Amino acid sequence: MLAYILRRLVLVVPTLFGIMVINFFIVQAAPGGPVEQTLAQIQGTSVDATERFSGSSSGGETLRKSATDSSGGGTYRGARGLPRELIERIEKMYGFDKPIGERFLLMMKNYLVFDFGESFFRNKRVVDLIIEKMPVSISLGLWTTLLIYFVSIPLGIAKAVRDGSRFDVTTSTTLIVLNAIPGFLFALLLVVLFAGGSYFKWFPLRGLVSDDWSSLGTIDKVLDYFWHMALPIGAMVIGGFATLTFLTKNSFLEEIHKQYVLTARAKGLVERRVLYGHVFRNAMLIVIAGFPAAFVGVLFTGSLLIEVIFSLDGIGLLGFEAALNRDYPIMFGTLYFFGLIGLVMGILGDLMYTVVDPRIDFEARA
């Protein structure tokens, strides 16, 4: 098993490198990069943008006058009429004065020591921004995943035991309908019903905690935290447990019809002992071992619109704004960091298989 883990860890390096290569060159080839956006600000007579390169208001006036009078240009859209010296200064500020290959290698060299640089437009280190936004995203991802598992596993077992019954058909229909409705629509419905939209105002509409959270006692802090998280997590859970429920049901059905279950029943074991003493471990292999991957999926892909609706400033919103603004340090820094986490969690998922069922030996399979 140790050799298998070592091989998987070694494969993390080329896999992560390939992810970064593909995304880096695709994003760099897309129009509207940080240089072009800054040039557009200057062309739009933005005092702040020009002062960034001039150092004073009078200098900004000179740059704008020079931009208007000059016939310079360049390879950027919106660069016509701007002096070449100004364009070169902007390129140097964003690191675009170097060839694209050199920029990539320099970026990867810094990423090896988790130096993600500084945001182009937020004037903060990327690491600080990630740490600042992580509590929101971890809260949404962790509690949503746990609640989905706590609901899906018992429900899936109940459906498998009552396969074909009215209960099974009714719950299946309900799950299919819930799964077909996007989570953000549930979020809007919860806001209208319970967050002061039109009816009740039982829950807050924004933030992870209240403004006076630091002055509360320990128990009140915990209650305040879950009070704020109730609606966002509820919106993500409602439409998120259909797949896992059906997976649990099908896994149980497959195991129930195997020979060892018939043998256990023939020996006179009670049905509860058969289900939870023999079937459960084998049926839950795929379900439980998939927990790390499920958590990563919820954490990174499912919370953007929820964060926007409930004014939660998390990783999803940070990445969305970075993509809009072409804030490359945030885009590539978060991609590297969470890509690494995803690969490591994949290895943990394999380890979970061996924990749930010690008979599995990846080394022998290799």
Q: How far apart are CA 250 and CA 248, in angstroms?
A: 6
What is the predicted pLDDT for the residue at 202? 86
Q: What is the dihedral of CA 10, 12, 15, 19, to 10 degrees?
A: -150
Q: How far apart are CA 206 and CA 227, in angstroms?
A: 11
Burial class (CB in 10 A: 0-12, 13-18, 19+), 252: buried
Decide: 322 and 334 in contact? Cβ < 8 Å. yes
Decide: 34 and 41 in contact? Cβ < 8 Å. no
What is the predicted pLDDT for the residue at 137? 82
Decide: 294 and 146 in contact? Cβ < 8 Å. no
What is the predicted pLDDT for the residue at 169? 92
Give the DSSP letter of residue 247. H
What is the predicted pLDDT for the residue at 18? 92
Based on its alpha-carbon atoms, the radius of gyration of the chain, rounded to whole angstroms, reads: 27
State pTM to two decimals: 0.71
Backbone angles phi, psi at 210, to 5 degrees: -75, 165
Domains and CATH numbers, the chain: 2-99 (no CATH), 127-365 (1.10.3720.10)
Alpha helices in 162-196 (DSSP H): 166-180, 183-194
Task: Kindly list the averaged pLDDT for each block of 10 residues, start to end, along the chain of length 366.
Answer: 81 91 85 75 53 43 41 54 75 81 90 87 87 84 86 89 89 89 83 80 82 85 88 83 86 83 80 77 73 69 74 81 85 87 81 72 59
Q: How far apart are CA 300 and CA 144, in angstroms?
A: 12
What is the predicted pLDDT for the residue at 67? 40
Residue 125 β-bridge partners = 118
Q: What is the dihedral of CA 167, 168, 169, 173, to 10 degrees?
A: 100
- Return the structure tokens found at 343: 């690969």
